[in-house]
Amino acid sequence: MNIDLRSDTVTKPTNDMLTAMMQAEVGDDVFREDPTVNMLEQKVADMFGKESALFFPSGTMANQTAIKLHTNPGEQVICDKYAHIYNYESGGASFNSGVSCKLIDGNRGMFTAKQVIEAINPDDYYYSKTSLVEIENTTNKGGGACWDFEEILAIRQVCAENGLGFHLDGARLWNALVETNDSIAQYGKVFDTISVCLSKGLGCPVGSVLVGDAKIMKDALRVRKIFGGNMRQAGYLAAAGIYALDNHVTRLKEDHKKAKEIGAFLTQLSVVKSVEPVETNIVIFELNEAMDEKKFVQDLADQQIYIIGMGNKKLRMVTHLNYDDTMHNRFLEILKKLAEK
Ligand SMILES: *Cc1c(COP(=O)(O)O)cnc(C)c1O
């Protein structure tokens, strides 16, 4: 039995999802004639109360498109030092949009409205023009932490007062929503643009969606085309997204429960120095000085358990749709044995 906890992107479509995909009605989406893609976009736009949505092959492309829509070359984006757009999108913000990132030294990937105010450049010609604030919910490198919606509202206010765009990288927004009971419509009201992933916790093989009102989304199609993201009979993929939104959102709670249980077991291991608070489906923990990171990962791999290192003796595990009860019980047994050593 392979137990793959490297990421929630390793999921494969369930049989019911595959059936939904095979039954999809499709057309050429470049002519905007794929009824299933159109249905998914309408569905996600409606969920957020936004005027427009666009289906993307990846979350990276959805975020990169948002940055392009909000900025001009030479301008600056405010984000956390842990931000996916800064760390894990191959320098795309500078490559695609010619912008730099002003990094906030936040807490687990989150920051305050006050820190945003401090990060906005003065309105003098020799500074880069600040044009966008970007946040991530849940935070990836921050260990799946969920934002406090009150802080998001305060940042929205700062953006409004300073004429800044506000983008949410909501790759795992679904996890935040089921954990906090915040409403999806609330999020739609506060952000100018939001990207969401269908291929993480929701279990689709491919796909992300970017939403926003018509004005900001006006050039989204063109930008996606420039980035090479036009797809043709993409309805087969969109059908997976529709299925996932209808069937795989509330069950994320189960992933969170399992992650919290893993976190609690890890605190009992002598080789573990600390475990970051587990709020959703990501567990980040740090090994003791004496414990070699590669060896720890290899020892688990020898027992068909796969996790990833994040550098500096930090390791990550992510629970997901394909990590079932049997795997979970087996993994907890193994951790128990390690604790007794
Ligand atoms: C996974 C992820 C993305 C998008 O990743 P893709 O692999 O391009 O789909 C964006 N933001 C965050 C926080 C992520 O975890």
Q: Which atom of ligand 1 is nearest to the CA of 139?
A: 13
Angstrom distances, CA of residue 307 to CA of 10, 188, 205, 284, 319: 12, 34, 20, 10, 11
Quote the pLDDT of residue 55. 98
User: Cα(189)–Cα(181) distance, rounded to whole angstroms?
Assistant: 16
pLDDT of 338 > 90? The answer is: no
299 pLDDT tier (thresholds 50, 70, 90): very high
| pTM across the whole model | 0.97
Q: Which atom of ligand 1 is nearest to the CA of 208?
A: 9
Domains and CATH numbers, the chain: 3-8+251-340 (3.90.1150.10), 15-247 (3.40.640.10)
pLDDT of 73 > 80? The answer is: yes
How many angstroms does the Cα of residue 175 sit away from the middle of ligand 1?
14
Percent of the chain with pLDDT over 90: 96
Q: Which atom of ligand 1 is nearest to the CA of 60?
A: 8
Compute the average pLDDT of residues 40-69: 98
Question: What six digits make up the tokens of 301?
Answer: 């791999």
- What is the tens place of the pLDDT at every residue in 197-246? 999 999 999 999 999 999 999 999 999 999 999 999 999 999 999 999 99
Describe the strand order of the beta sheet including 130-136 as a list of residue ranges. 52-56, 208-212, 193-197, 165-170, 130-136, 76-80, 100-104
How many angstroms does the Cα of residue 220 sit away from the middle of ligand 1?
18
> Ligand 1 atom 2: the closest Cα is on which residue?
171
339 pLDDT tier (thresholds 50, 70, 90): confident
Q: 158: left (phi > 0), else alpha (psi -120 to 50), else beta?
A: alpha
- What is the tens place of the pLDDT at every residue in 9-36? 999 999 999 999 999 999 999 999 999 9
| Best residue for ligand 1 mutational test, from 7, 197, 224, 237 (most atoms within 8 Å of Cβ) | 197
Tell me how many degrees the CA angle 117-120-121 measures, rounded to the nearest 5: 145
- What is the tens place of the pLDDT at every residue in 247-262? 999 999 999 999 999 9
pLDDT of 296 > 80? The answer is: yes
User: Cα(321)–Cα(198) distance, rounded to whole angstroms?
Assistant: 12
Quote the pLDDT of residue 58. 98
pLDDT of 341 > 90? The answer is: no
Residue 29 is classified by DSSP as G
- What is the tens place of the pLDDT at every residue in 88-121? 999 999 999 999 999 999 999 999 999 999 999 9
Question: What six digits make up the tokens of 100?
Answer: 């730099």
How many angstroms does the Cα of residue 62 sit away from the middle of ligand 1?
9
Over the range 87-96, which residues count as b (16 or more CB within 10 Å of their CB) and which as e?
Answer: bebeebbeeb
336 pLDDT tier (thresholds 50, 70, 90): confident
pLDDT of 340 > 80? The answer is: no
Enumerate residues lining ligand 1, CB below 6 A. 58-60, 63, 84, 136, 140, 169, 171, 197, 208
How many angstroms does the Cα of residue 61 sit away from the middle of ligand 1?
9
How many angstroms does the Cα of residue 11 sit away from the middle of ligand 1?
14
